[in-house]
Chains A and B, each alone.
Chain A
Amino acid sequence: MPDQAHLLPGTLDLLILRAVSLGPLHGYGILLRIAQISGQALMVEQGALYPGLFRLVRQGLLKTKWGVSDVNRRAKFYELTAAGRKRLQDETESWTRLAAAIACALSAQPEKL
């Protein structure tokens, strides 16, 4: 495995929402999708995914339905709800702002102060 970044607390929800926003996925699929879209940089511990998923379902951000996976196994698929889409948008904006602010802070040069 390549270098892995630590998952910041609170970012798992955002990653799940983003992964699912690209198309309905089952649990294992979400893990693979997160690894894929983060360039294999972010790996979620497999077990930790599920409490996060259920929390999002309970909050009404995800909805589920049973289907068949690409390897012909029965699996529960997760989809964004309208509220989930809205949340993803909000969270993405605030994350971008935060990331930009931190990047800016870290790149500050002493002579420019």
Chain B
Amino acid sequence: MRLLDAMRARWAALVHRSAMREELEEELRDHLQHRADDLERSGISRVEAERRARIEFGGFEHYREESHAALGWHWAKTLLRDLRFGLRILKKSPAFTAAAVSALALGIGVNTALFTLVRGILMRPLPVRSASRLVVIWGSNPGEGLSRVGPSGQDYLDWREQKIHALEDLFLFEHGTGTVTGNGDPEQVAGLRVTTNFGSFFGIVPVVGRTFLPEEDNARHSLAILSYRYWRRKYQGNRAICGQSMTLNGEDYTIIGVLPASFEELFPVDVVVPFDNEWLHRADSDLGVFGRLRPHVTVRQAAAEMSETMARIARQRPDRKGFGTVLVPLESVRMEYIRPALLVLQCAVGFILILACANVANLMLSRGMSRRQEMAVRISLGATRKQIVRQFLVESSLLAILGGMLGLLLALGSVHLWARYGPTRIPVPNAAYEVTLPAVHLGMSEIVFTLVASLVTGILFGLIPPLRLFGGNMQDALKNGGRGTIGEVRGRGTRTVLVVVEGALALVLVVGASLMIKSFSRLLSINPGFDPNRLLTLRIKLSEDAAGSPYRDPWKRGAAFHDFLEHVRGIPGVQSAALTEIVPLSQDDMDRGPFAIQEKAGSNVTPSADYRDISPGYFQTMRIPLLQGRNFAESDDAKHPRVVVIDQTLAREYFGTENPLGRHVVLPYGSRIPREVIGVVGAVRDSSLSGAAEATIYFPYMQGPDQTMSMVVRTALPQNTILPEIRDAIWSVDRNQPVFEVRSMPEIMGNVTSAPRIAFILLDILALVALVLAAIGIYGVTSYNVGQRTQEVGVRLTFGAPPNAILCMLVRQATTLTLLGVGAGLLCGLLMTRLMSSLLYGVSSTDPVIFLGATVLVTIVATIACYLPARRAARVDPLVALRSE
């Protein structure tokens, strides 16, 4: 209660300052009037009474001031005075202020920028119900080298039937595309097929309408839910949309609802439709399954229960033998690819902040020393320690806040650059899937973060100088008038620590950056097995599902693709064009399976390989070299014997030195037709640049046409010139055929190298900043130390010491410290770079050449930073030096 009253009084004092001042004046005047009244009654004149009242009152001005102080805004006034004084001091030494503010701006700016990214990307929860309990469930088969495969519909049904206790609910989905017609240009939309628990599983609140009901798991309902974005784009956000119908793959669907905008972060799709329950039993693998853990159940417990379940299932269904499951929390799997890069950068920017603080602390310390006399005078005149500490704190906080504001601008710029040049999509490792990165922007919490970071740093380095000052005897300071006496250089211990820390941090960052440079240049120099320049890729999906679609007949599909290809090849400016089931590195999909070699029957290992359906001309368009035999020809169609081309990896692994041409590959299911190997081509990196090339079998697409193919077009023309022509060429064959996922090959390559590229670019900049900061810091400390010893140098020179010997001594003493720092840095580096190993390609995290090179670089820079001030000291005129203060 008392505290509350006191606080209220203070608050009132602060808010109503001028009002209270007037009130105070009035009250004092009233007092004088009352006293004068009394005196007047004793028989003196009014004028005389007022005069006497004033005299009796005592020192009016003095008491008024004291009353002001007692009213409680004394502290605000002193703060203002300290601020004004601080600003004046800072203005008086602009070089110091600029150095300190810019160092802090750098330190705080890079930290705010990275905090923005980390918060926006790693720390933001998915906008769905109990997102932290959702796990992705993949199948795995270590025996066949499959680490993450999408489960099949049967897997899902099995898991449901086995009633896994650890999981509250299971959700099955499949990504796909559909063709929308009858509403403007034909358009390929991204679709999602889901089980009907969709709405409850994610806790979706639709913007309009409803989600699916449990009993709507039947194709005859033909229901669709639209995404927010698609609804806005195609239906202009019309709220009376429910009940309208849309034509998807030639069939009519009834729209029943619209998803909230935030849902796109999880599934960037246009249309959501339910699975048909009957169809689930037949559904192939490559579906997606999410599970929701029961509260307080760990992923590990759930994984253990799943593996027991899989063992039980394998006893009933022998074909599932050898299969296990992999459970990964949904929130972590999405950012699996980019997290290590961001965490490494987080460490790096932390180091930069420490470096910046060390520099500013050092600056403050040096200045604190030169202000020792001023402080001593102030203390002897009655200033309390509290007041002196407060003065230092106000000054350092001023610096920090100025630095913080500049840093905020820096962060704003960086975040803007990220939005412009940063990756938008990142792959999910081993899952043939991509995630769209959420947009990041600087918000209120980032500003608060900057403010807190500034104030904390300000207070930290503001405390150092006064603490060092009070460590000594103030009278000494007064007596020797700030004259540096040998062996009495205060703050030497603190400085030593600062130099060692700066050297160490700079070395760690330089090592990290050098590792990234080497690794990234290795990564870029990897030959993907094809020539990615001037390649445009796009996807075409035939609507075979539609009733009455001509494409239900596989040979008609082949013919359609053949026609598309011929028309595109006819466009002027197209050098060559071809079809492939999967574009390398595009994370589109995975098609992988077992095979046998007819001539090597009886081998008990089942080899597996990537399957690729391609058109003739694919190898020429991609510039994949033909090593042996021949390419596919137009004549390799259904009417001719089945043939395949294998890649170098498969030839080496399964044929060794034998000649593979003329041998036969058999797929151990279906028709088991032997397919003759007619050629061997170079290996291609399909899933990632850094991974090994997988064994691959190429099939001619006319011997088993697919529904969806990608077209690769080699052309020198820019994308927006050629794309309309390609569309027109395709529409001249089928007016209702959309094309989608138009991407240039360099763009695809950019996505798979985004994490190392971000780490590479940013870490290099940060290392450079660190090196500069460390150099400035070491230079500053050496200048100060040498400056303190000017007299000693003078004495030595007078007694005939050669300037060069003095220079050597000074540099040696200064460099010893940095070498200590470099040593510490090497140790830290060995521990820290391990964090980076997932970002590195083709270089060990303890690469000795890099460590040696970085050590040499940091040592050279540090020695130069020591040499410059030492040279100045050694060249001084001895007479001047002796007299110097």
A, B from the same assembly: yes
Q: How far is the CA of A18 from the CA of B45 in the complex (A)?
A: 34
Residue of B nearest to A52 (CB): B70
Residues of A within 8 A of B3 (CB): 60
Residues of B within 8 A of A26 (CB): 30, 34
Tell which of A29, A51, A63, A76 has the most Cβ of chain B within 10 Å: A51
Q: How far is the CA of A26 from the CA of B28 in the complex (A)?
A: 11
Asked whether B56 is an interface residue with its Cβ less than 8 Å from the other chain, the reply is yes
Asked whether B868 is an interface residue with its Cβ less than 8 Å from the other chain, the reply is no
Tell which of B4, B60, B63 has the most Cβ of chain A within 10 Å: B63
Residues of A within 8 A of B8 (CB): 60
Asked whether B46 is an interface residue with its Cβ less than 8 Å from the other chain, the reply is no
Are A76 and B27 in contact, CB atoms less than 8 angstroms apart?
yes
Q: How far is the CA of A53 from the CA of B72 in the complex (A)?
A: 12
Q: Smallest Cβ distance from A74 to chain B, in angstroms?
A: 7
Asked whether A42 is an interface residue with its Cβ less than 8 Å from the other chain, the reply is no
Residues of B within 8 A of A54 (CB): 24, 67, 70-72
Q: Smallest Cβ distance from A4 to chain B, in angstroms?
A: 14
**B 63-103 to A, binary, CB cutoff 8 A, 1 in contact else 0:** 10011011110000000000000000000000000000000
Residue of B nearest to A27 (CB): B31
Are B31 and A48 in contact, CB atoms less than 8 angstroms apart?
no
Asked whether B653 is an interface residue with its Cβ less than 8 Å from the other chain, the reply is no
Residues of A within 8 A of B30 (CB): 26-28, 73-76
Which of B1, B13, B31, B34 contacts A83 (CB under 8 A)?
B1
Are A71 and B63 in contact, CB atoms less than 8 angstroms apart?
no
Are A60 and B57 in contact, CB atoms less than 8 angstroms apart?
no
Q: How far is the CA of A50 from the CA of B4 in the complex (A)?
A: 22
**B 13-31 to A, binary, CB cutoff 8 A, 1 in contact else 0:** 1000000000110011011
Are A55 and B58 in contact, CB atoms less than 8 angstroms apart?
no
Asked whether A40 is an interface residue with its Cβ less than 8 Å from the other chain, the reply is no
Q: Smallest Cβ distance from A31 to chain B, in angstroms?
A: 8
Residues of A within 8 A of B31 (CB): 27-28, 46, 50
Q: How far is the CA of A51 from the CA of B64 in the complex (A)?
A: 8
Q: Smallest Cβ distance from B69 to chain A, in angstroms?
A: 7
Asked whether A2 is an interface residue with its Cβ less than 8 Å from the other chain, the reply is no
Asked whether B831 is an interface residue with its Cβ less than 8 Å from the other chain, the reply is no
Q: How far is the CA of A42 from the CA of B819 in the complex (A)?
A: 75
Q: A46-B57, A47-B58, A48-B58 are in contact. Are A58 and B71 (CB under 8 A)?
A: yes
A window 30-65: CB within 8 A of B:
45-48, 50-55, 57-61, 63
Are A58 and B2 in contact, CB atoms less than 8 angstroms apart?
no
Q: Smallest Cβ distance from B8 to chain A, in angstroms?
A: 8
Are A75 and B5 in contact, CB atoms less than 8 angstroms apart?
no
Are B5 and A60 in contact, CB atoms less than 8 angstroms apart?
yes
Are A47 and B6 in contact, CB atoms less than 8 angstroms apart?
no
B window 486-503: CB within 8 A of A:
none
Q: Smallest Cβ distance from B41 to chain A, in angstroms?
A: 10
Are B63 and A48 in contact, CB atoms less than 8 angstroms apart?
yes
Which of A45, A50, A53, A71 contacts B34 (CB under 8 A)?
A71
Are B27 and A27 in contact, CB atoms less than 8 angstroms apart?
yes
Are A75 and B2 in contact, CB atoms less than 8 angstroms apart?
no
**B 50-62 to A, binary, CB cutoff 8 A, 1 in contact else 0:** 0000001111101
Are B70 and A55 in contact, CB atoms less than 8 angstroms apart?
yes
Residues of B within 8 A of A21 (CB): none
Q: A75-B34, A76-B23, A76-B30 are in contact. Are A58 and B10 (CB under 8 A)?
A: yes
Residues of B within 8 A of A60 (CB): 1-6, 8-9
Are A69 and B34 in contact, CB atoms less than 8 angstroms apart?
yes
Q: Smallest Cβ distance from B434 to chain A, in angstroms?
A: 63
Q: How far is the CA of A51 from the CA of B60 in the complex (A)?
A: 12
Residues of B within 8 A of A81 (CB): 5
Q: Smallest Cβ distance from B363 to chain A, in angstroms?
A: 39
Q: Smallest Cβ distance from A75 to chain B, in angstroms?
A: 5
Q: A51-B63, A51-B66 are in contact. Are A28 and B35 (CB under 8 A)?
A: yes
Are B23 and A46 in contact, CB atoms less than 8 angstroms apart?
no
Asked whether B715 is an interface residue with its Cβ less than 8 Å from the other chain, the reply is no
Are A83 and B5 in contact, CB atoms less than 8 angstroms apart?
yes
Asked whether A82 is an interface residue with its Cβ less than 8 Å from the other chain, the reply is yes
Q: How far is the CA of A82 from the CA of B62 in the complex (A)?
A: 31
Residues of B within 8 A of A55 (CB): 70
Main secondary structure on chain A at its contact with chain B? Answer: helix
Which of B1, B9, B69, B71 contacts A82 (CB under 8 A)?
B1
Residues of B within 8 A of A71 (CB): 34, 37
A window 1-29: CB within 8 A of B:
26-29
Residues of A within 8 A of B62 (CB): 47
Q: Smallest Cβ distance from A1 to chain B, in angstroms?
A: 12
Asked whether B154 is an interface residue with its Cβ less than 8 Å from the other chain, the reply is no
Q: Smallest Cβ distance from B71 to chain A, in angstroms?
A: 5
Residue of A nearest to B62 (CB): A47
Q: Smallest Cβ distance from A9 to chain B, in angstroms?
A: 15
Q: How far is the CA of A89 from the CA of B69 in the complex (A)?
A: 27
Q: Smallest Cβ distance from A25 to chain B, in angstroms?
A: 11
Q: Smallest Cβ distance from B550 to chain A, in angstroms?
A: 89
Residues of B within 8 A of A27 (CB): 27, 30-31
A window 54-109: CB within 8 A of B:
54-55, 57-61, 63, 69, 71, 73-76, 81-83
Q: Smallest Cβ distance from A59 to chain B, in angstroms?
A: 6
Are B2 and A51 in contact, CB atoms less than 8 angstroms apart?
no
Q: How far is the CA of A71 from the CA of B36 in the complex (A)?
A: 12
Are B71 and A28 in contact, CB atoms less than 8 angstroms apart?
no
Residues of B within 8 A of A50 (CB): 24, 27-28, 31, 63, 66-67, 70
Residue of B nearest to A83 (CB): B2
Q: Smallest Cβ distance from B73 to chain A, in angstroms?
A: 10
Residues of B within 8 A of A57 (CB): 9, 71
Asked whether B147 is an interface residue with its Cβ less than 8 Å from the other chain, the reply is no
Q: Smallest Cβ distance from A7 to chain B, in angstroms?
A: 13
Residue of A nearest to B13 (CB): A58
Q: How far is the CA of A61 from the CA of B9 in the complex (A)?
A: 11
Asked whether B703 is an interface residue with its Cβ less than 8 Å from the other chain, the reply is no
Which of B4, B58, B72 contacts A46 (CB under 8 A)?
B58
Tell which of B4, B9, B31 has the most Cβ of chain A within 10 Å: B31
Asked whether B33 is an interface residue with its Cβ less than 8 Å from the other chain, the reply is yes
Residue of B nearest to A69 (CB): B34
Residue of A nearest to B72 (CB): A58
Q: Smallest Cβ distance from B327 to chain A, in angstroms?
A: 60
Are A46 and B35 in contact, CB atoms less than 8 angstroms apart?
yes
Residue of B nearest to A46 (CB): B57
Q: How far is the CA of A18 from the CA of B58 in the complex (A)?
A: 24
Are A51 and B34 in contact, CB atoms less than 8 angstroms apart?
no
Q: Smallest Cβ distance from A43 to chain B, in angstroms?
A: 10
Q: How far is the CA of A27 from the CA of B30 in the complex (A)?
A: 9
Residue of A nearest to B6 (CB): A60
Residues of A within 8 A of B34 (CB): 26, 28-29, 69, 71, 73, 75
Q: Smallest Cβ distance from B58 to chain A, in angstroms?
A: 4
Residues of A within 8 A of B72 (CB): 54, 58
Q: Smallest Cβ distance from A95 to chain B, in angstroms?
A: 20
Are B70 and A51 in contact, CB atoms less than 8 angstroms apart?
yes
Residues of B within 8 A of A48 (CB): 58, 63
**B 826-843 to A, binary, CB cutoff 8 A, 1 in contact else 0:** 000000000000000000
Q: Smallest Cβ distance from A42 to chain B, in angstroms?
A: 16
- Not counting A53-B70, A61-B2, A76-B30, a sample of 11 additional A-B residue pairs whose C-beta atoms are within 8 angstroms of each other reads A26-B30, A46-B57, A50-B70, A51-B66, A51-B67, A54-B70, A55-B70, A58-B10, A76-B23, A83-B1, A83-B5
Chain B residues in contact with chain A, CB under 8 A?
1-6, 8-10, 13, 23-24, 27-28, 30-31, 33-35, 37, 56-60, 62-63, 66-67, 69-72
18 A-B interface contacts by CB (under 8 A): A28-B31, A28-B35, A29-B34, A45-B58, A46-B58, A50-B24, A52-B70, A53-B70, A54-B24, A58-B6, A60-B3, A60-B5, A69-B34, A73-B30, A73-B34, A73-B37, A76-B30, A82-B1
Q: Nearest 6 CB-CB pairs, A to B?
A: A60-B5, A47-B63, A47-B58, A54-B70, A28-B34, A83-B2
